[in-house]
Amino acid sequence: METLDLLERAYPGRRVELKRDIFRKALALFNEQGIEATTIEMIRAECQTSVGAIYHHFGNKEGLVAALFFTALDDQAQLRERYLAEADNTQAGVYALVQSYVDWVDSQPEWARFQYHARFAVTRGPFKEELVARNKTRNGQLRDWLVGAAGAESLRRLPAELLPSLMIGPAESYCRAWLSGRVNNRPGYYRDALAEAAWRSVSGEEVHVSDEPIAESGVLR
């Protein structure tokens, strides 16, 4: 149901019902079989449609992978924008960035799992320039928001290209571990701790994260 909800947000209406169905079946196959092993014929059989219909919507397999990837990226960005709209200073903005990322992965694990696996394929495929352009625009807008907000003095001392890694790196690492089954607690369990750690890493404050949740859950392996 989560997958369907995301697709209905991105592609509403009955006229694109087949496109949503292709997306849904392709997403499941890519996650179950792997992107390389999944063929258009396998997707066609799951959708009970024609190869021509798939090519009509996406051009080829690379186009379908990229369309899925950008759909996930756009949905993730929309959630981040909603969180940022409620932030009134840089600290709140960093929290919004991290918490929106964690909440999206927590609520959309299949999309997040695909997104991680597909990134390499998209960066090496015919849509790599589009990804570069999207990332440049998105990161630029985010950087402008953060350094322009109240309390941004500490961020201006850091290289702009380093900020995304400092802020999202720990959250991304934990989310990947959860999706791969290496840790037990959902990312949302640590959303506040991850947000605080991100803020302290860019603000210059001493990092202090209580070890109580770790002791209780035993998630470190």
Structural domain includes residue 216: no
Residue 187 exposed, middle or buried by CB count within 10 Å (0-12, 13-18, 19+)? buried
Structural domain includes residue 214: no
Residue 58 exposed, middle or buried by CB count within 10 Å (0-12, 13-18, 19+)? buried
Digitized pLDDT (tens) for each residue of the chain, 221 residues in all? 456 589 999 999 989 999 999 999 999 999 999 999 999 999 999 999 999 999 998 999 999 999 999 999 999 999 999 999 999 999 999 999 999 999 999 999 999 999 999 999 999 999 999 999 998 888 888 878 877 776 677 777 788 778 888 999 999 999 999 999 999 999 999 999 999 999 999 887 544 444 444 333 333 22
pLDDT confidence of residue 139: 81
Structural domain includes residue 212: no
Q: CA angle 202-203-207, nearest 5°?
A: 85
* Total tally of structural domains belonging to the chain: 1
pLDDT confidence of residue 208: 46
Structural domain includes residue 94: yes
How many angstroms separate the CA atoms of 197 and 98, rounded?
10
Q: What does residue 165 show for φ and ψ, rounded to 5 degrees?
A: -65, -40
CATH code for position 42: 1.10.357.10
For residue 67, what are the contacts with CB-CB under 8 A and spacing of at least 6? 23, 57, 58
Structural domain includes residue 69: yes
Q: Which two tokens stand for residue 72?
A: 């996930």
pLDDT confidence of residue 4: 59
C-alpha dihedral, 107 to 110 to 113 to 116, nearest 10° = -80
Specify the pTM: 0.85
Look up the domain containing 6 and give its range.
2-205
Q: Calculate the CA 19 to chain-centre distance.
A: 21
Structural domain includes residue 157: yes
